[in-house]
Structure 1
Amino acid sequence: MLCSITDRSRHAAAAAALSGCLLVAHGAMAGDAASGARLAAARCVSCHSSTETIHSTLPLLEGQPKAAFIAQWRAFREHKRTAPVMVSLAQELSEQDVDDLAEHYAALLPPRTTESSGSDAGRALVDRLRCADCHGPALQGTNAGAARLGGQRARYTAWSLQLMRGGRRSHGTAAKPDPLLADLSNAEIESLAAHLASLR
């Protein structure tokens, strides 16, 4: 069952409010992309490399909006997300470190992928689920804190959608499990993830 337009509006408003709170709480710091690049090379690239396939179930960070990057870091720091390595790293990084990293990654584009191509089925699911309502018209994320979906690794997206469908991970402000994703089959999730990976 799809969320109503009213529910979507509430989700968008809540995301915008959350983004505002994040920026206020963050002190509206200015990130330093050069410092972020050095920190990324030292702390992030070993797992989140855009060229190595060994970590294909981990997300690409390139092109993630600054607000989305910061929101995920806060989720790990507050134990709302529970990957042990990231929870530990989130505790170690300062507010300025995270601003620098967010500035660095927001300025990059995800690499072109050869792992998948778009499909009519995947495109139809994007329309049916109205992904653009929250993630922006080109699915590149928003300044309200929604993540970029276009160009993301298919395996990571499929895994994330399965967690959200089962209620083990939140999907924005939606209930857990998210009713928007409840009726998706594994095949549909794979098709959707492959299509999103093909976008840039």
Structure 2
Amino acid sequence: MFSLKHSVSACLVLATSYSVPALAADAAAGAEKAAICAGCHGPNGKSSNPQWPNLAAQQPDYLAVQLKAFKSGTRKNPMMQSLTANLSDQDIENLAAHFAAQPAAKAGGDTALAKTGEEKAGICLHCHGAQGQGSAQIPRLAGQHPGYLEAQLKHFKEGSRQGGPMQGMASRLSDDDIKALSAYFGSL
């Protein structure tokens, strides 16, 4: 496991490794565009399918960075690349503002596994916040589907998803740790 010093250093690297130009976001305009997102991410960003993330209450800067990464192809997902191809930077900022303004989702998770995950969560909370709420370009984990979180941690661990210090963090987690942490954050 990482020490507190390594965790804080990793968070600082992650926080300074992305930059998003500030545009005045219009959440109402984002709500109009969000219809294309509802099929997978659910009404108001609350997905009923654990394969797709909840977008409700997600950090707007994080959403904007991820949408731009899908659009540029630096984050791979054929469906998302297709859906973001014709979005302007303003559209992206508006969508991010819309989803960030939605009430948080709560996905739930295996209670016993969540208790184990809570004991291991310190490594995540240094960057993702005391309640898993995220900040700026660090994503909200609280209320996310455990299955989605588990898949993303495995992608980071195997290197098929890139993202600042997350490869290093995930590489130190066992499959059991990943399941427990995912259940914990889903339960918040």
5+ residue gaps, structure 2, are none
State how 1:2-13 maps to structure 2 within 5 Å: 2=2, 5=5, 7-13=6-12
Partner residue of 2:14? 15
Partner residue of 1:151? 143
Deviations 1:143-190 (A, max 9, x none): 1x00000000111001001111111112x3127xx2322242222211
Aligned pair 1:188/2:177, yes or no?
A: yes
SS of 1:147's equivalent?
coil
RMSD value, Cα: 2.1
For the Cα contact (< 8 Å) 1:59–1:153, is it kept in 2?
A: yes
| CA shift for structure 1 position 66 | 0.8
Letter aligned with residue 149 of structure 2:
T
Are residues 115 and 139 of structure 1, via their aligned partners in 2, closer, same or farther at CA, if it must alter by over 3 Å?
closer
Partner residue of 2:104? 110
| CA shift for structure 1 position 52 | 5.7
| CA shift for structure 1 position 22 | 1.2
Percent of aligned positions that are identical: 31
| CA shift for structure 1 position 101 | 0.6
State how 1:53-132 maps to structure 2 within 5 Å: 53=48, 55-117=49-111, 119-127=114-122, 130-132=123-125
Distance in 2, Cα, partners of 1:148 & 1:17 = 17
Distance in 1, Cα, partners of 2:121 & 2:176 = 14
Are residues 117 and 107 of structure 1, via their aligned partners in 2, closer, same or farther at CA, if it must alter by over 3 Å?
farther
Partner residue of 2:39? 46
Aligned residues: 185
State how 1:28-39 maps to structure 2 within 5 Å: 28-39=22-33
After TM superposition, the score normalised by the length of structure 1 is: 0.83
Higher helix fraction (1 or 2): 2
